[in-house]
Amino acid sequence: MFLSAPEADELLQRSKLMICELYAGKGGSRGGANRKEGNNMKDTYGREITYLRLSVTELCNLRCRYCMPEDDAVKKRHEDMLTHEEMVLAVRAAASLGITKLRITGGEPLVKPDIVSLCHELSQIEGIRELCLTTNGTLLPRLALPLREAGVDRLNISLDTLDAEKYRRITRCGELSQALQGIECALRAGFEKIKINAVLIGGFNDDEIPALAELTKRYPLDVRFIELMPMYDSGDFGPEAFIPYTVVTERLPELEPAAADGGVAKLYRLPGAQGNIGLISPVSAHFCAACNRIRITADGKIKPCLHSSEEISIKGMSLEEMEQTIRRAILEKPQWHGALSYSERSHANRNMNQIGG
């Protein structure tokens, strides 16, 4: 079960104190004044690229219908995947070019056996100011505190429904109680600014918009509604599933605009809430002009754009070769990802678990 509102308030205050003490012991926030600034890297459209999403595995303990096929697709050979050392090297190369924010993704990153030690090494890389991780939350009861101690700053946790049967249906095998317990353990571990990611799916969870939004009143976290994207293998969803973010504002007329935080989400807040409601619209109102990110897949391919088929391999490269290749990928980043809809599919040519959610 979730914490009660008084327990959540008390936990938030303890968490703030713990984080202040943690940072004080390190001599200030990680990656701040004691670190050298990387070379600011801009693409050919003038966008400064400061954000890397690194997928550390294609494997997952769930089988979400919008992310991967039920049979786990094609499993690659171990030797085809980036090694622990290559992942660290790739982030060092990216940081030297001005990357300051790093997000660890998958698959489910917490199924990777060495995820805690990897996060610790990545958190120590000069220039990386913020280390984030996206997870389905089901393994957080065991790993939330070790991840916090390893240097992970923030968590995004996927949660598309608060109905146990619908959770099993969308994940094909998951238990809602495990995900909810994971959120509670993340709060107890001292994580602040937790973001709950809910993929907005017409006919599946649009009736739960108020209930999901209500979480921001009960707990110190944000809830973000993300438009369903027409990915390579998302055939489980018909045209009715692809609904725009504006459905949220229609269902929640009491929403009030909130201050922007530098991200791609349009931010709102319910009266009396502890966190924000974020609306992310890659389909109906793309934000390519403000895109500041690149991606590296678990098998070592740089994707300058999520929805582009272009991929550039860094597998087996030296630090210097990785730097040159990442620089090239940034300069080849397209202006926008093209139209997306039920009938206009993504050109990514991969499922989301093979890219990094």
Containing domain of residue 54, as a range? 37-354
What local confidence, expressed as pLDDT, does residue 287 receive?
Answer: 78
CB 305 within 8 A of CB 333: yes
Rounded CA separation 258/63 (Å): 34
pLDDT at 334: 84
CATH number where 150 lies: 3.20.20.70
Structural domains counted in the chain: 1
Beta bridge partners of 267: 278
List the 194-200 sheet strands across, edge first: 256-257, 266-269, 277-280, 221-227, 194-200, 154-158, 130-135, 101-105, 51-55, 293-296, 301-303, 312-313
pLDDT score at 74? 59
- Structure token digits, residue 41: 């890297």
Per-residue pLDDT of the chain (357 residues; tens, 9 = 90+): 555 555 555 554 454 444 434 433 333 345 443 334 446 899 999 999 999 999 999 999 999 998 888 876 557 888 999 999 999 999 999 999 999 999 999 999 999 999 999 999 999 999 999 999 999 999 999 999 999 999 999 999 999 999 999 999 999 999 999 999 999 999 999 999 999 999 999 999 999 999 999 999 999 999 999 999 887 565 678 999 999 999 999 999 999 999 999 899 999 999 999 999 999 998 887 878 889 999 999 999 999 987 677 899 999 999 999 999 999 999 999 886 766 656 566 666 787 788 786
CA 210/CA 162 separation, integer angstroms = 11
pLDDT of 325 reads 97
Is 241 part of any domain? Answer: yes
Do the domain assignments include residue 60? yes
- pLDDT, residue 356, reads 80
Q: Is residue 196 part of a domain?
A: yes
Burial 42-75 (b: 16+ CB within 10 A, else e): ebeeebebbbbbbbbbbbbbbbbbbbbbeeeeee
Domain-embedded: residue 19 = no
Query: What pLDDT was estimated at residue 19?
Result: 41
Convert the chain into a string of H (helix), E (strand) and C (coil). Answer: CCCCHHHHHHHHHHHHHHHHHHHHHCCCCCCCCCCCCCCCCECCCCCECCEEEEECCCCCCCCCCCCCCCCCCCCCCHHHCCCHHHHHHHHHHHHHCCCCEEEEECCCHHHCCCHHHHHHHHHCCCCCCEEEEEECCCCHHHHHHHHHHHCCCEEEEECCCCCHHHHHHHHCCCCHHHHHHHHHHHHHCCCCCEEEEEEECCCCCHHHHHHHHHHHHHCCEEEEEEECCCCCCCCCCCHHHCCCCHHHHHHCCCCEECCCCCCCCEEEECCCCCCCEEEECCCCCCCHHHCCEEEECCCCEEECCCCCCCCEECCCCCHHHHHHHHHHHHHCCCCCCCCCCCCCCCCCCCCHHHCCC
Is 255 part of any domain? yes
Answer yes or no: is 291 within a domain: yes
- Give the count of beta carbons closer than 10 Å to the beta carbon of residue 288: 17
Q: Does a structural domain hold residue 194?
A: yes
| Residue 27 lies inside a defined structural domain of this protein | no
